[in-house]
Every structure is written in structure tokens, then in C-alpha cells.
Amino acid sequence: MSTKTWPPPIINRVFGLMSRHKYPSWLRHPHCLRGIMSATAIMSGDKLETAPFDPRFPNQNQAKYCYQSFVDYHRCQKLKGEEYEPCEYFKKVFTSICPNAWVEKWNDQLEAGSFPGTI
């Protein structure tokens, strides 16, 4: 991306800032993608949702909730079939909470037959 088109027009629409000097410092540097990624997520039109509260996981650390939702999704698909609509709830939860690297690793482990959980 050339510096002439920095910041991209989408940033103006998201933050409502029309002059370059009003941008936060983290948006001024063209190599920092944090602002672009969040702006793209907001403007993409996809409905972004967070996982609802689950009383089994009341603490701030949501790693167990992430893992359990991943396992529950695959258990649900195994028991009810891939077309069973309520299984999608668990998929929404783990895609919302889990880091992508974890999900990719777990999917690779499932394919290799070395996933540590019981599905």
C-alpha cells in the first residue's frame, strides 16, 4: 500500500475522522494492521457476535470455554449429523472465543487422529 493512499478511505468512514492529524498514532503507520483489520471487520457487513455467558465458565480466562465449545461442536456433529442446525451454536461460540491458531491445530489433530479430547 503506498503512503499516498494512507489511511484508506474505509478508516474515514469507520472513525468519522476526516483529517489525517486526528488519527490515533497507531493508525498513522502503514505497517500497523491493527486499525485496518478492525475497520474491515466493522465494515464487512458480517454480523459480529460474542459468545453468551456460560455459568460453567464464570472466570475471565475463557480457554476452557473455548475448548469445551470446540469439543461440543464436534460431538454434536458426530451424534446428530453435520446438517443438524443446533450444532452451529457451538461453532459460533468457539469461532468467537478461540484463537484461530488453536482451532487450526485442533482440526489438524482431529484429521490425524491425535486430538487429546474425547469426541
Q: What is the pLDDT of residues 10-41, one digit of tens each?
A: 545 545 544 445 555 544 444 444 444 444 44
Q: How many CB atoms lie within 10 A of CB 40?
A: 15
Whole-angstrom distance, CA of residue 101 vs CA of residue 30: 25
Cell numbers representing residue 8 in the block: 484508506
CATH code of domain 63-112: 1.10.10.140
CA distances from 106 to 10, 68, 71 (A): 35, 12, 10
Task: Delimit the CATH 1.10.10.140 region(s) of the chain.
Answer: 63-112
Q: What is the pTM of this model?
A: 0.59
Burial class (CB in 10 A: 0-12, 13-18, 19+), 34: exposed
Q: What is the pLDDT of residues 85-103, one digit of tens each?
A: 999 999 999 999 999 999 9
Report yes or no: 84 and 76 within 8 Å, Cβ to Cβ. yes
**Closest of 62, 8, 68, 64 to residue 35, by C-alpha:** 8
Helices (H), the chain: 9-15, 25-28, 34-43, 63-80, 87-97, 100-112
Where does the pLDDT of residue 5 fall: very low under 50, low under 70, confident under 90, or very high at 90 and above?
low
pLDDT at 80 over 50: yes
Q: What is the pLDDT of residues 31-79, one digit of tens each?
A: 444 444 444 444 445 566 778 888 888 888 889 999 999 999 999 999 9
